[in-house]
Amino acid sequence: MDHQTYKSWILNDELLSGEDETQLEEHLAECRECAELKANLYTALQMVRSAPQIAAPPDFTQRFTASLAARKREEEKRQARALTLALSSSALVIAFGAILIFLPEISLISLATGCVSTLLRIFEIVQATASFVSGFVKNANPSSLVTVFVVVGGWIVLASLTLALSVWKLAIKKVGINS
Ligand SMILES: [Zn+2]
């Protein structure tokens, strides 16, 4: 019989038959290694058995429950804060994304629409004016045409004079301020 068998017998001494136990006792008397193992095991078992049972303080359960509840509340608060942060940040991200995705498109569309409608309006005005002028020129007799030209020419001259006068006034004013 080798050491390993005796060692396993030492560790499981409750399962040994009377015959095996006698055999083990004989081996233990001869083998120091196995005897030491048995002694150490016995000491360890004795230490475990004789360890004093430490009673929990009377209010231990109460305090433990209270601290557990407090920790749970703290955890819930922390989770709520994390959830709020996550929700608000994701809402912010979504809003920002929506702005990025939709706003340029909207502004581009409205800008394009505005440009197109403005161009169309200008085109309409030009067309109307042209048709009016051409119609007037076609239908009017030469004398009224001359009158119109004179009136329009007079207006242009007047406007030019007014413009020149205001520019001149402005120039004078500027010189006056500078000197
Ligand atoms: Zn042995």
Q: What is the DSSP string of 82-102?
A: HHHHHHHHHHHHHHHHHHHHH
Domains of the chain, residue spans: 1-50, 76-139, 141-173
Q: How far apart are CA 118 and CA 124, in angstroms?
A: 10
Q: How far apart are CA 100 and CA 102, in angstroms?
A: 6
Q: Strand locations in the chain, DSSP E? A: none
Average pLDDT over residues 88-106: 76
Query: What confidence tens digit (pLDDT) does each residue in 129-168 have?
Result: 888 888 877 776 777 778 888 888 999 999 999 888 888 8
CB burial readout 80-110, b (16+ within 10 A) else e: eeeeeeeeeeeeeeeeeeeeeeeeeeeeeee
Average pLDDT over residues 74-90: 88
User: Ligand 1 centre from 20 Cα, in Å?
Assistant: 14
User: Ligand 1 centre from 14 Cα, in Å?
Assistant: 18
User: Ligand 1 centre from 29 Cα, in Å?
Assistant: 9
Residue 77 and residue 49 in contact, taking contact as beta carbons nearer than 8 Å: no
User: Ligand 1 centre from 32 Cα, in Å?
Assistant: 7
Entry field: residues in the chain = 179
User: Ligand 1 centre from 6 Cα, in Å?
Assistant: 6
pLDDT band at residue 174 using 50, 70 and 90 as cut-offs: low
**pLDDT for position 176:** 60
Q: How far apart are CA 74 and CA 69, in angstroms?
A: 8
User: Ligand 1 centre from 77 Cα, in Å?
Assistant: 62
Burial category of 171 from C-beta neighbours within 10 Å (exposed 0-12, middle 13-18, buried 19 and up): exposed
Question: Coil, strand or helix: which one is 2?
Answer: coil
Confidence check: pLDDT of 107 > 80: no
Structure tokens at 38: 């048995």
User: Ligand 1 centre from 49 Cα, in Å?
Assistant: 26
User: Ligand 1 centre from 39 Cα, in Å?
Assistant: 13
* % residues pLDDT > 70 (the chain): 90
- Smallest Cα–Cα separation from 41: which of 78, 81, 6? 6
Query: What confidence tens digit (pLDDT) does each residue in 8-26 have?
Result: 888 887 778 888 889 989 9
Q: How far apart are CA 38 and CA 83, in angstroms?
A: 59
